[in-house]
A and B are shown apart, each in its own frame.
Chain A
Amino acid sequence: MSGLNELYQELILDHNRNPRNFKKIENADKLVEGYNPLCGDHYTIYLNMDGDLIKDIGFQGAGCAISKASASMMTTAVKGVTKKEAEELFTKFHALVTRDVHDNNEANIEELGCLGALAGVAEFPARIKCASLAWHALHGALNSEGKAVVSTEDSKKD
């Protein structure tokens, strides 16, 4: 598959057209805004927690196909898992999209399930922030009380 076809594969386009959990959760336990001031991508992530368990998650907002599909896939991946499991997924996902495509280490896609579809992002350095925006927001939400705002430029996050 060429880089472009891999980046915009059907699963990603489908999540972009029909984002899952694209909803506002009234009275959410946690609410975090994630935005990229450089391009204007902007999402709000809503979380309802049961102790350490992510009971429900929703998101709203606007951005490019990569950021929206990634947010959508993330919600399906972390719904019903613990905070610790979600953070572990983030670490693996982050490693996947920021890996050096020029070294020969095969990306570890299997254990990431549908999130592996975003592996092609690593070939487009300018788009890594798009893919990781929602995850940074989730990370911010899980580690704060109530409301928070996360920007991709806070500490030049990838």
Chain B
Amino acid sequence: MKTQSQSAVTEIETAPSFDVQRIREDFPILKQKVHGKPLVYLDNAATSQKPQAVIDTLTRYYVGQNANIHRGVHYLSEIATYEYEKARGKVKLFLNAADSREIIFVRGTTEGINLVKDTYGRKFIGKDDEIIISAMEHHSNIVPWQLLCEEKGAKLRVIPMNDRGELLLDEYEKLLNDRTKFISVVYVSNSLGTINPIKKIIQRAHERGIPVLVDGAQAASHLKVDVHDLDCDFFVFSGHKVFGPTGIGALYGKTKYLEQMPPYQGGGDMISSVTFEKTTYNVLPYKFEAGTPNIADVIGMGTGIDYVTGVGFEAITAYEKELLKYATEALSNIEGVRIIGTAKEKAGVISFVFGTVHAHDVGTILDQEGIAVRTGHHCTQPVMQRFGIPATARASFAFYNTIGEVDALARGLRKVKEIFGA
């Protein structure tokens, strides 16, 4: 390990062992310049960057392992199958699931939610039944349930939140009733950063025997996820937000639910036997994985998980907490900045509005400084409506971000002020 330079990073006293400069070396994209300035990548809630190990895994697979899985007796097929199933084991450990059969590979969080909606939802939710979501859901955890409600004549109920962006648990408990058949809530909000008291939400639901799906898209890169401890019935996340490739994710489901659910898609690999009269379906998890899956990216996701667990969530959480604290103070000190989402429990996401300057203009000016932030409604239009704003700019952090990058963001915002005279 190289000696730490006198960079601002050493100011983080609570995490002295965390060598962010060494970690940055693992991410080749972070070395590049954008518009002649060093890239400051603060759009990690949209997608994370990939360590060299993940990139190498994809290359190694296509150079020396590529074959179709679960159906070949030849050498390459056996290797590809072994690597693919090994990745399933990694996801199982990552989530602390009881059994690898409870891990189903999907394209991402969106497909995972849609899978549960199309299978569990269609079978077990009917007319006048109720589904509970929260006021801070991503569109991907709103629209599928709206579609199901429309199809079945069911009703969507929404847990409200306060002005800090915290869910109102009293109101949640009032929503629970005999018609409540399913609950689908986000663990960490992508637009507010709020970490929801998901365990309590699940406990209350289970007192009434109601299953709960947790949208873990933002949680999986920031927090140690433990589906056994949470006791959630379904958990979904995307590989690309956890330092893995795009187009791949995983759905965890308890065996007792997965076994009751009909298949999601029909095709190869999801069957035991097929005649024109009757098809019997394959066992878990293959019942839900029709067709040739995204083999390379499953294996790549496994490497991303290896990487992040290698860094360690204890260190990640401690470092990101300090980074968030520093960034919150730095941005709060800039006149005109109003942070949207000030929950007590937050992950590394800062959404903000800046005086009368629209988020898009903020984003364009920051981009010219090499700083990547997301601007807009972040696929959470109801959140924007709740706060009465059209859009926010959002800086979202990963463990490879530095105090120096937060300073660059603050300087960039002063430049916005200069241009707009705001």
- Whether A4 and B375, one on each chain, are in contact in the complex, defined by CB atoms closer than 8 angstroms, is no
Contacting chain A: which of B68-76, B180-188, B286-294, B353-361? B353-361
- Whether B360 and A39, one on each chain, are in contact in the complex, defined by CB atoms closer than 8 angstroms, is yes
Chain B nearest CB from A72 CB (Å) reads 14
Partner of B360, one of A4, A5, A42, A66: A66
- Whether A124 and B364, one on each chain, are in contact in the complex, defined by CB atoms closer than 8 angstroms, is yes
Chain B residue, CB-CB nearest to A13: B420
Within 8 A of A (CB), among B351-380: 357-361, 364-365, 368, 375-377
Check A65/B357 contact, CB under 8 A, given A40-B381, A42-B390, A127-B364. Answer: yes
In the complex, whether B87 has a CB less than 8 A from a CB of chain A is no
CB neighbours of A4 from chain B (8 A): 364-365, 368, 419
CB neighbours of A62 from chain B (8 A): 390
In the complex, whether B391 has a CB less than 8 A from a CB of chain A is yes
Chain A 33-44 near chain B by CB (<8 Å), digits 1 or 0: 000001111100
Chain B residue, CB-CB nearest to A65: B361
CB neighbours of B360 from chain A (8 A): 39, 41, 63-64, 66, 127, 130
Within 8 A of B (CB), among A124-140: 124, 126-127, 130
Chain B 325-361 near chain A by CB (<8 Å), digits 1 or 0: 0000000000000000000000000000000011111
In the complex, whether B95 has a CB less than 8 A from a CB of chain A is no
Within 8 A of A (CB), among B390-410: 390-391
Q: How many residues of A contact B (CB 8 A)?
A: 20
Question: CA of A124 to CA of B363 in the docked complex: distance in angstroms?
Answer: 12
CB neighbours of B390 from chain A (8 A): 40-42, 62-63
CB neighbours of A126 from chain B (8 A): 364
CB neighbours of A146 from chain B (8 A): none
CB neighbours of A65 from chain B (8 A): 357-358, 361, 420
CB neighbours of B421 from chain A (8 A): 13
- Whether B368 and A66, one on each chain, are in contact in the complex, defined by CB atoms closer than 8 angstroms, is no
- Whether B420 and A39, one on each chain, are in contact in the complex, defined by CB atoms closer than 8 angstroms, is no
Chain B nearest CB from A56 CB (Å) reads 27
Check A40/B376 contact, CB under 8 A, given A63-B358, A65-B358, A66-B361. Answer: yes
In the complex, whether B384 has a CB less than 8 A from a CB of chain A is yes
CB neighbours of A42 from chain B (8 A): 390
Chain A 54-89 near chain B by CB (<8 Å), digits 1 or 0: 000000001111100000000000000000000000
Chain B nearest CB from A141 CB (Å) reads 22
In the complex, whether A22 has a CB less than 8 A from a CB of chain B is no
Q: List 20 A-B contacts (CB under 8 A).
A: A3-B368, A4-B368, A8-B361, A8-B419, A13-B420, A38-B376, A39-B375, A39-B377, A39-B391, A40-B377, A41-B360, A63-B358, A64-B359, A64-B360, A64-B361, A65-B357, A65-B361, A126-B364, A127-B364, A130-B360
A contact residues vs B (CB 8 Å cutoff):
3-5, 7-8, 13, 38-42, 62-66, 124, 126-127, 130
B contact residues vs A (CB 8 Å cutoff):
357-361, 364-365, 368, 375-377, 381, 384, 390-391, 419-421
